[in-house]
Amino acid sequence: MNQPSSSNTARVPHRYFLPLFMRTLLDKMILYTLSKLFSWLIALFLSLPFRQRMSHNNGIAAEGSLRIVDNPEFPPNDFFAPGTVFPLRIRHASASFLDDATSNIRSISIKLSHERFKSPFDIELNTGRYSLFWSVRSFIHFANRRKEAWGVEYVRYVRQYPRGLDGAIDGLRRNPTSYRFMHYFSQTAYKYLDSTGIAHYAKYRVLPFGTDEDSGVDPEPCAWDITSERVLKNETRGRNYLKYEYEDALAKAPAKYRLQIQTRRMCDDDTPDVCNNMILWDETAYPWKDLAVLEVHKILDWEESTLTTFSVNNMPKTLGILPATSIYDGNSLNYMRAHSEIARKARLLSYKVFGMPPQIPDNDNRNVSNWGE
Amino acid sequence: MEENIDHICEECRTKTAIHYTNGDSFFGPRLRTINHLELGYSKVLTNPFTIFLELLYVFYKKIRGAVSRMIAWLFPRRDRLYGTDLDSAVVGRLTFAARHELNTPIHGMKLELWARTRLLRQWRKLSEGYSDNDGTFSLPFEVRSVRNIRMAKRVHLEISEITNVFHSETEPPKPHYTLFHSIPLSKGEFIGMEYTVGAVQLAFWEYRKDAPTPRVVIKDHDEDAPEYYTKGRTDALIQQVIPIELTKLSHLERIDLEKKKMVKDKLTIQAIQKAYPENLTVCIEQRKPGYTRSDAWFGERMMNGMNKGCFVPDAENPSQYWMHYFGICNYAANNEYALPTASVKYALTSKGLPIPIEIHLVGQLDAFNTDPWQSRIFTPENAEDWLAAKRVVRTCGAVSTEIDEHFTGTHINTEQYAIAAFRNLRQNPVAWLLLPHLKEASLINHSADKLIIEGYLPTATALKTEGIKARTRDILGMQDWYDWHPMKPISEAHSYAKAEQLFWEIVGKYVDEFFAEHESAIKQYWYEIAAFSNDLVNHSVPEFMPKGALDGLSGREHALALQRKEYYCALYRFNPDAERVTVNGEIKAISRITTARNFAEALPEDFDRLKSACRYAIMTATFLHTWINEHQYDDLGEILYSCGGLRFGSEKRGVIAPESDLSIAPDLTRSTQMLWFTNLLSRTEYGFITRNEEGDVNPLFIRLLKEKEAEFTALGVDINAIESRTNI
């Protein structure tokens, strides 16, 4: 390309729109209101009546331990002291559809305790280096554009937003061999204060231990077919094949993973792109470092799996989420997660009122998102 | 004696010269545009009541225009961008919409993103940019500038094209952008990062698939065309054409009444001739009867008139020359008109003017002997037959000049450069150089299809429409910029060749200086040149009779084909030995300018090749076209002197008959149509280089031309009558 894609015409500064301080204040109010509103809507119209999480209902939990590496190459942090061993509870899940054989975003959620909720550190990771959305504004738009029907969803969204398409291509996994053999990313950046008080950004990822295999990646993704997440025709894998495989594998041997961290020093002149989960950090400048080894050996039953819940608020003060300034800010995603406790509480309340949701049946009702469909 | 006739000729030239007035009257007949002209009855408003209604409509349009201007004043589109945190972008890809070009990107198109405020409806430009070489574009903007509650819901993605380039003495060339396509977007869709409009398919300067030559698609010449005439051009045409249009209409009405036996007095060719403005030959003939039928006049007009013929030295006697006008050849023809292949042998007078000494006619000359290879030779000793033979040559020359050199060599030839240029040249300064000279060619060619190629010529000449189309394809296969050079004068009296040389030098200097001034930008946007070259070559017609094509022919056909090829090479200055590109098995007529997508990869000679191609395109669109166009009225303005075709008549002598035999002359309808055409084409020129009516001619070009005014005047050329483009 030898042509400029945009002109150099001078731009009118912001003062012609709103005074900056007014805008900042308004942005934060909108962010807070939207986050709370969204959380309440989920609580009132999804979690409470239907006993559902907002996503990732189709999952399986397990327990084990996490050991911080002995010779860390990442900036020292008191919480991640070398050689420290934490109790571990994880939950693998598929983001949408109650059918493991659909093309889906897969996840691993990590809790450094054996409790259902209480923990010094939780982190949630999905397949794909980046997501299908990048801010609260885009997330609400994304949620609003789902329009799911029989395994096809987000058609218009993916067509309109190239980065959403990139996220779908990068994150979707079809028929992976096991939850153990996929790469999971936190995608969003978190706060990381090292032992000397220097502030960093941090991203996390989980890889299989002893192999670089990333199972389920579509070698030939198709832009206009990516939104069809339907089970393939003549598919022989069952609705719960991934969970069963995980149970069977753990019965034979513990599952091991590597938790890695990517840190980046905070600077005054950082652009918003740094915290934009759609823009990857250069791995040469900011390499991934081994943080810990996870060893999972005990499967938890459906009820315990369902009751196990994770939160970005479960973090020590030196880690945690980054402040967000507006609904367009990349950090607003974690901000909204942090403000969604009401949805979790509503779901747990619904279990008490209406009982636990049933296990996903092994019938031929494929490509469905909800129980009873 | 000779001084006397020169004086008469000069006086007649002055007398019959075309002048342009601004005359208009309140209740004068009206016509909309050239697109509403018809070979038969054009849509001319003559009823006073209708004219009054038309005036009311014009008044309404003026009011509407005034309101538009007021709206533009109230809601200005200021050239400044709003928003500084460019956290979002509208992206997409521009491609051509034609089904065979869906994957062909449109590069360098100007794109702008506009929004309006809710309250005062003020425009805010959010972003601007250009499509990249692969057609993709990205217009970065600040999402909160759009999502702001003060902004209206709709955002407009506007795609603009260059429709004109304005030049001035003091400022750099200024391209004028016109909105080509607008896509309304909802601001609610803007959520940060990129929003894509996907592949935007534009029906932009599409090549026709149904034409034998590179032509542009024009769906509706008033509403859906790649370009439009300016108001000035339309007004100039209407003012000049209305009187002759009325003359033609009165003749057609009269002929119709005669057919219905409703009038006693018959319309005659003489009456038709008299009804139209006097032309050069009529004027001279009145002052000096017989002179325009003399050998001297014949030779002079063949050399320096509309035909500007090509003189090829005789193989045995190089002081004598041959000139050929190829007739029907193998093209589809009717059996009503004669169109033999005419070859004329000339000797030069002491003044260097050609005198015909031998005429060879090969082909059918009467209705009875249909042998297409029959040959007759005429010499001045044949007296009456010699006069008739010269008339046949003039007629054959008129057909060849009009179809081959005028329509194909300049109109269609210019259009193929115009299409390639408008499709590809935008940011490269070569656009500023070429576009003003290439505009409007496609429009007039579109009208010519209806009026001339499918209208007049098949009824007034020996060739059928399909024959004409096949012939234009063949002749276009002999047009190439590479190695083109002006005609070499064969004598001091060869003023056309001298003028052509002089103009070629001016264009060369103009192009050289322009390239020197804009060299870096031309190299920077070299991709556009590569794309221009690609379109030009890939859509070019095949070379006419390339090497080896004659192998299958035998005998007389082979000899004729060889003769045509050799003569066309001389006539069109076509180098058959140049290296040409083969595309889809066809050896293309036009040479490639460059293959490099950026200048760093270009061959050392590519820059000069581009200059040569530009020089040739400008030469063709200006001087070469103007010469034939403005001389049509001189050489085709007298029905019995020359015409599009002589009918075989009912006698065995066929077309070798005196002018008094009206059975071989064009019939009344064709006669009035012919004079209507020649007046229309010669009298409605607009867009002259030195007059620069629309400010689109580079002042450098004007200055260089004016510097040579005296030399041109000495050659009988009025530089103020040379058009800057082919638009009639």
Tens digit of each residue's pLDDT (9 = 90 or more) over B418-433: 999 999 999 999 999 9
Residue range B543-563, pLDDT digits in tens: 999 988 888 888 899 999 999
Domain tally, chain B? 1
Structure tokens given for A238: 């069952």
Q: Which domain holds residue B174?
A: 88-202
Taking residues B215-221, what's their average pLDDT? Answer: 92
Taking residues A266-294, what's their average pLDDT? Answer: 95
Q: What is the crossing angle of helices B430-438 and B526-538, to 10°? A: 40
β-sheet bridge partners, residue B338: B646
543-602 in chain B: CB under 8 A from chain A: 598
Closest in B79, B127, B198 to A6, CB measured = B127
CB B306 within 8 A of CB B429: no
Of A148, A207, A217, residue with least CA distance to A181: A207
Of B427, B417, B436, B419, residue with least CA distance to B109: B427
Of A172, A157, A149, A147, residue with least CA distance to A368: A149
Structure tokens given for B125: 């430009």
Phi, psi for residue B144 in degrees, rounded to 5: -75, -15
DSSP category for residue A360: P
Taking residues A137-145, what's their average pLDDT? Answer: 94
- Residue B104: give its domain's CATH number: 2.60.40.1120
Single-letter code of the amino acid located at A161:
Y
Gyration radius of chain B's alpha carbons: 28
CB B420 within 8 A of CB B535: yes
Report pLDDT for B684. 78
Chain B residues near residue A161 by CB distance under 8 angstroms: 191, 193-196
Say yes or no to pLDDT of A164 above 50. Answer: yes
Closest in B83, B107, B130 to A4, CB measured = B130
Q: How far is A58 from chain B (nearest CA, A)?
A: 29
Does residue B693 form part of some domain? Answer: no
Does residue B189 form part of some domain? Answer: yes
**Does residue B77 belong to the interface with chain A, where contact is any CB pair within 8 Å?**
no
Q: What is the 3-state secondary structure (H, E, C) of B458-515?
A: HHHCCECHHHHHHHHHHHHCCCCCCCCCCCCCCCCCCHHHHHHHHHHHHHHHHHHHHH
Residue range A36-72, pLDDT digits in tens: 999 999 999 999 999 999 999 999 999 999 999 999 9
Chain B residues near residue A138 by CB distance under 8 angstroms: 191-193
Chain A residues near residue B139 by CB distance under 8 angstroms: 5-6
Cβ of B525 and A2 within 8 Å? yes
Cβ of A3 and B107 within 8 Å? yes
Say yes or no to pLDDT of A3 above 50. Answer: no
Does residue B152 form part of some domain? Answer: yes
Of B617, B644, B588, residue with least CA distance to B441: B617
CA distance B361 to B357: 13
Report pLDDT for B181. 96
Sign of torsion over alpha carbons B58, B61, B65, B67:
positive
Single-letter code of the amino acid located at A349:
L
C-alpha B202, offset from chain centre = 26
Report pLDDT for B27. 57
Does residue B167 form part of some domain? Answer: yes
Does residue B649 form part of some domain? Answer: no
Report pLDDT for A48. 94
Say yes or no to pLDDT of A5 above 50. Answer: no
Cα–Cα distance list, B244 to A72, B217, B678 (Å): 96, 30, 10
Confidence of residue A2 (pLDDT cuts 50, 70, 90): very low
Report pLDDT for B37. 75
CA distance B365 to A158: 73
Q: How far is A41 from chain B (nearest CA, A)?
A: 21
**Does residue A155 belong to the interface with chain B, where contact is any CB pair within 8 Å?**
no
Chain A residues near residue B84 by CB distance under 8 angstroms: 11, 13-14
CB B150 within 8 A of CB A23: no
Report pLDDT for A221. 93
Phi, psi for residue B325 in degrees, rounded to 5: -125, 110
Structure tokens given for B301: 């007009």
Cβ of B133 and A2 within 8 Å? yes
Nearest residue of A to residue B113 by CA position? A6
Report helix, strand or coil for A92: strand
Taking residues B93-117, what's their average pLDDT? Answer: 94
**Does residue B604 belong to the interface with chain A, where contact is any CB pair within 8 Å?**
no
Which residues neighbour B379 within 8 Å (Cβ) at sequence distance 6 or greater?
Answer: B357, B358, B359, B386
Confidence of residue B658 (pLDDT cuts 50, 70, 90): very high
Of A126, A326, A311, A305, residue with least CA distance to A206: A126
H or E stretch at B325: strand B321-325
CB B716 within 8 A of CB B304: yes
Cβ of B91 and A141 within 8 Å? no
Cβ of B130 and A3 within 8 Å? yes
Say yes or no to pLDDT of B353 above 70. Answer: yes
Chain B residues near residue A14 by CB distance under 8 angstroms: 84
Q: How far is B136 from chain A (nearest CA, A)?
A: 9
Say yes or no to pLDDT of B474 above 60. Answer: yes
Sign of torsion over alpha carbons B257, B258, B263, B267:
positive
CB B90 within 8 A of CB B127: yes
Say yes or no to pLDDT of A246 above 60. Answer: yes
Of A246, A288, A245, A248, residue with least CA distance to A264: A288
Chain A residues near residue B145 by CB distance under 8 angstroms: 17
86-105 in chain B: CB under 8 A from chain A: 87, 91
CB B675 within 8 A of CB B639: yes
Report pLDDT for A18. 59
CA distance B520 to B524: 6
Domains of chain A by start residue, with CATH: 15-54+340-357 (no CATH), 57-337 (2.40.180.10)
Residue range B26-77, pLDDT digits in tens: 556 666 666 677 777 777 777 788 778 878 888 898 999 999 999 999 999 9
Sign of torsion over alpha carbons B144, A203, A60, A221:
positive
Closest in B82, B427, B527 to A11, CB measured = B82
Single-letter code of the amino acid located at A38:
F
Q: How far is A273 from chain B (nearest CA, A)?
A: 9
Cβ of A4 and B138 within 8 Å? no
DSSP of B121-142, one letter per residue? --EEEEEEEE--TTSEEEEEE-
Longest CA–CA separation in chain A, Å: 67
Place of tokens 């053999």: A181
**Does residue A138 belong to the interface with chain B, where contact is any CB pair within 8 Å?**
yes
DSSP of A171-221, one letter per residue? HEE-S-S-GGG--EE--S-EEEE-TTS-EEEEEEEEEETT----TT--SS-
**Does residue A278 belong to the interface with chain B, where contact is any CB pair within 8 Å?**
yes
Cβ of A10 and B81 within 8 Å? yes
Does residue B143 form part of some domain? Answer: yes
Nearest residue of B to residue A160 by CA position? B196
Single-letter code of the amino acid located at A53:
R
Question: Average pLDDT of chain A?
Answer: 93
Confidence of residue A347 (pLDDT cuts 50, 70, 90): very high
CA distance B282 to B635: 10
Of B431, B451, B432, B454, residue with least CA distance to B443: B451
Phi, psi for residue B341 in degrees, rounded to 5: -80, 125
Taking residues A95-106, what's their average pLDDT? Answer: 95
Confidence of residue A1 (pLDDT cuts 50, 70, 90): very low
Taking residues B702-714, what's their average pLDDT? Answer: 96
Does residue B135 form part of some domain? Answer: yes
β-sheet bridge partners, residue A124: A109
Q: How many Cβ atoms are within 10 Å of B17's Cβ, its own excluded?
A: 13
CB B402 within 8 A of CB B393: no
CB A106 within 8 A of CB A59: no
Q: How far is B624 from chain A (nearest CA, A)?
A: 36
C-alpha B648, offset from chain centre = 32
Of A237, A234, A118, A259, residue with least CA distance to A174: A237
CA distance B639 to B35: 26
Residue pairs spanning A and B at CB distance below 8 A: 95
Closest in A11, A135, A160 to B189, CB measured = A160
Phi, psi for residue B571 in degrees, rounded to 5: -65, -45
DSSP category for residue B198: E
Q: How far is B481 from chain A (nearest CA, A)?
A: 28
Residue range B670-690, pLDDT digits in tens: 999 999 989 888 877 789 999
pTM of the model: 0.89
Nearest residue of B to residue A329 by CA position? B192
Taking residues A314-337, what's their average pLDDT? Answer: 95
β-sheet bridge partners, residue B138: B91
CA distance B51 to A264: 79
Taking residues B125-151, what's their average pLDDT? Answer: 93
**Of A161-170, A208-217, B2-11, B215-224, which gets the smallest average pLDDT?**
B2-11
Phi, psi for residue B223 in degrees, rounded to 5: -115, -30
- Provide the pairing of β-strand B81-82 with A11-12: parallel
Report pLDDT for B28. 60
Residue range B355-413, pLDDT digits in tens: 999 999 999 999 999 999 999 999 999 888 999 999 999 999 999 999 999 999 999 99
Confidence of residue B24 (pLDDT cuts 50, 70, 90): low
Which residues neighbour B572 within 8 Å (Cβ) at sequence distance 6 or greater?
Answer: B409, B475, B478, B479
Of A210, A209, A227, residue with least CA distance to A218: A227
